[in-house]
Structure formats: structure tokens, C-alpha cells
Amino acid sequence: MSLALSLAEVAPIYNLGLVVVAAILFIRLFRTPVKNKKVYLKPWILLFFAMIVFVVEEILTILRAKDVINIPIHINGFFELVIIIAFIYALLLQKERIGKTRLV
């Protein structure tokens, strides 16, 4: 087995390991008490949603690689589309919020 095939096989598992660290950071962010009403968490909630979609996609990729499930590979494109839409929407929300605060 070549190095590239080995990395391709274990990369989804490493990705899930890194997502655990990111999830812990998100949970700490959401549990932080908000003392200032100007804190705007909606874009962060959307990024957390995108991360959950990524976890579902990676789990399906791992199960497909282990031949536990048999779903077409093009389904990953739909997951990636949802992730990109969530990122763009979070950026647009943040841009709108910054525009409103500059006017005040």
C-alpha cells in the first residue's frame, strides 16, 4: 500500500479527531456568559452547524470506505454545498452587523 492510499484511508478519522477539538472550543464559546449585549453569536452558530454537517459527511465517508453502507459518492457534494452556504451566510450576517454598528 502506498503512502497516498494510506493517508486517504485514515484522513477522515484524523479529521474527526480535529473536529472534537473544534467542538470543545465551540461549546466553551457558547457557554461563556454574555455580559455585553453587543456580542453577536449567530454567525458562530452557523459555523457550528456547518461543522456538524461536516461530521455527518465524514462519518458517511468512513462507513462507505468500510463497506458498511452503500450510498453514491456524489452525495458528498450536497453536504459540501450546505457547508459552503452556511459559511457564506455567516459572512453576510457578520458584514451586515458590522455595517450597522458603524452607523451607530
Identify the pLDDT of residue 46.
95
- CA gap 52, 63 in Å, rounded: 17
Taking a C-beta distance cutoff of 8 angstroms, is the pair 53, 86 a contact? yes
Identify the pLDDT of residue 88.
97
Taking a C-beta distance cutoff of 8 angstroms, is the pair 19, 58 a contact? yes
Secondary structure class of 95 (helix, strand, coil): helix
**Domain spans in the chain, listed from the N-terminal domain onward:** 3-103
Secondary structure class of 39 (helix, strand, coil): coil
**Which pLDDT tens digits describe the chain residue by residue (104 residues)?**
788 888 877 888 888 889 999 999 999 988 888 777 777 889 999 999 999 999 999 899 889 988 899 988 889 899 999 999 999 999 999 999 888 777 65
Entry pTM: 0.81
